């Protein structure tokens, strides 16, 4: 009897769920077909001028040695560093936001190797991991100021919260070098990063929308909302999709979880019968998305990933129509090089914009190294460093 009540209750619940579904179902799909695109409102993080500047940088020619992109600069604006000149060897200190994903792991190993390569000039390298916590990183930076560092390298966990701590470090007279994510103060000697999220998102979106059949259905997979570096990628892709009049049937968040990604893609294949293009804001789950098509017995549509080797290998093995914009891990070498130049009193560019290469069908083979582990990033620029390849395995 109670079971019957339970059943009735559950059926009622279902009914409620059914009612609730009607509206959203009519909403997105209805507007999608009307506007020819389901990309929704533009992200709050979108800044038109930055977007245009980044897209212009994609075509800019870099200065510096062509075979060492981590030393190259796009549109250099040199600043004088004579006041920081001092005799070596130096003690370099690094406040790191986190080591909590394969990208940061590969990057940090590359940085350690660069320190080793510069061995004679660096007497000590101090690394503090903030474990993804703003408060810890603020304390870390504060601690490092009392440790007699000759230069401070910061990879901030979040932009706004870390700004005061970085500003305080600048005031102590240390040369401060910021890379990866930025801060809201001009006080660091230089800010090093690749072109950025707009460039990344644009390259992938343009490729996928050009290669898929006209009017085809595109699925956009994002890691999570509200993170500036990822929002810029999506907002640039949105502009490209709107321009190409692609039918974006879904924009879903995967949390970077392959199982969830595979289920989402599988759901969309079942719901729409076929998906003609996949765009992603980060490559970590690209392999899961491809597998979802394979396991469903469907051809893999044009897709973008990133420079993680598991994706590159799959791309090569299965002959995918793919592209891999990158956010190169070689940028972890640059802060060490920059710190040494600053301490030498040599001018450096601020901002130090690094080139952001794209892996395409044409150059795929040169980046695919089957001896490296699946989660390794091909764009590490680390093959000439001490300890390669063992250090990265």
Partner 1 sequence: MQTVQRSPLLPRLLRVRPGGLAPIIALLAVLLILVAVRQSDFFAPPSLMSFLGRSAPIILLAAGQYFVIVSGEFDLSVGALVTAQVVVAARLIDSEPARTWPVVVLLLGFGALVGLVNGVITTRLRVPSFITTLGMLLILLGAVYLWSDGAPKGGLSDEFRRFGRWAFEDVPVLGRVPYALIVLLAFAALAVLVARSDFGRTLIAVGDNPRTAELSGVRVWRHRSIAFVLSGVAAAVAAILIGGYSGVSFQAGAGLEFGAITAVVLGGVALGGGRGSVVGAMLGALTLELLFALMNFYGVSGALRSTVQGAIILLAVAVSAPRSSSR
> What residue ranges bind partner 1 (CB under 8 A)?
1-7, 9-11, 13-14, 17-18, 20-22, 24-25, 28-29, 98-102, 104-105, 131, 252, 255-264, 266-267, 270-271, 287-288, 291, 295-297, 310, 373-375
Nearest distance from residue 266's CB to partner 1, in Å? 7
User: Cβ(127)–Cβ(97) under 8 Å?
Assistant: no
The C-alpha atoms of residue 3 and residue 32 are separated, in whole angstroms, by 43
Using the Cα atoms of residue 134, residue 138, residue 139 and residue 140 in order, give the sign of their dihedral: positive
Nearest distance from residue 96's CB to partner 1, in Å? 12
Whose Cβ is closer to partner 1: residue 164's or residue 387's?
Answer: 387
Whose Cβ is closer to partner 1: residue 56's or residue 259's?
Answer: 259
Nearest distance from residue 128's CB to partner 1, in Å? 15
Give the pairing of strands 217-222 and 247-253: parallel
Nearest distance from residue 205's CB to partner 1, in Å? 23
Whose Cβ is closer to partner 1: residue 267's or residue 369's?
Answer: 267
Whose Cβ is closer to partner 1: residue 2's or residue 120's?
Answer: 2
For helices 228-244 and 48-58, the axis angle rounded to 10 degrees is 80
User: Cβ(281)–Cβ(222) under 8 Å?
Assistant: yes
Nearest distance from residue 200's CB to partner 1, in Å? 21
Whose Cβ is closer to partner 1: residue 230's or residue 337's?
Answer: 230
Nearest distance from residue 368's CB to partner 1, in Å? 16
The C-alpha atoms of residue 124 and residue 90 are separated, in whole angstroms, by 7
The C-alpha atoms of residue 149 and residue 124 are separated, in whole angstroms, by 9
CB atoms within 10 A of CB 3: 7
The C-alpha atoms of residue 151 and residue 144 are separated, in whole angstroms, by 10
Whose Cβ is closer to partner 1: residue 100's or residue 172's?
Answer: 100
């Amino acid at each position: 009897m109670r079971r019957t009540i339970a059943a009735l209750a559950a059926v009622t619940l279902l009914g409620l769920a059914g009612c609730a579904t009607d509206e959203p179902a009519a909403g997105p799909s209805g507007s999608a077909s009307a506007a020819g695109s389901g990309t929704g409102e533009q992200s709050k993080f979108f800044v038109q001028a930055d977007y245009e500047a980044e897209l212009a940088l994609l075509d800019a020619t870099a200065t510096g040695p062509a075979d060492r992109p981590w030393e190259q600069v796009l549109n250099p604006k040199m600043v004088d560093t004579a006041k920081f000149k001092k005799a070596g060897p130096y003690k370099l200190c690094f406040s790191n936001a986190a080591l909590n994903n394969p990208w940061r792991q590969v990057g940090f190993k590359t940085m350690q190797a660069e320190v080793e390569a510069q061995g004679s000039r660096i007497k000590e390298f101090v690394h503090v991991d903030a474990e993804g916590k703003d408060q810890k990183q603020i304390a870390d930076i504060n601690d490092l100021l009392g440790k007699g560092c000759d230069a401070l390298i910061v990879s901030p966990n979040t932009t706004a919260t870390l700004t005061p701590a970085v500003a305080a470090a600048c005031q102590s007279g240390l040369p401060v070098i910021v890379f990866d994510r930025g801060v809201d103060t001009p006080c660091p000697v230089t800010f090093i990063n690749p072109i950025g999220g707009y460039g990344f998102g644009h390259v992938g979106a343009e490729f996928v929308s050009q290669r898929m059949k006209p009017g085809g259905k595109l699925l956009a997979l994002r890691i999570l909302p509200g993170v500036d570096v990822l929002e810029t990628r999506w907002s640039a892709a949105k502009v490209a999709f709107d321009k190409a009049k692609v039918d974006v049937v879904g924009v879903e968040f995967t949390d970077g979880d392959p199982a969830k990604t595979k289920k989402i893609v599988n759901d969309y294949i079942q719901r729409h019968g076929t998906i003609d293009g996949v765009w992603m804001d980060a490559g970590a789950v690209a392999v899961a998305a491809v597998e979802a098509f394979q396991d469903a017995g469907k051809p893999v549509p044009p897709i973008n990933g990133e420079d993680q080797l598991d994706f590159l290998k799959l791309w090569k093995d299965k002959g995918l129509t793919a592209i891999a914009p990158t956010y190169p891990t070689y940028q972890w070498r640059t802060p060490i090089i920059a710190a040494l130049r600053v301490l030498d009193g040599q001018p450096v560019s601020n901002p130090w914009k690094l080139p952001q290469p794209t892996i395409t069908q044409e150059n795929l083979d040169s980046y695919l190294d089957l001896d490296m582990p699946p989660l390794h990033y091909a764009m590490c620029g680390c093959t000439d460093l001490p300890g390669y390849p063992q250090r990265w395995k």
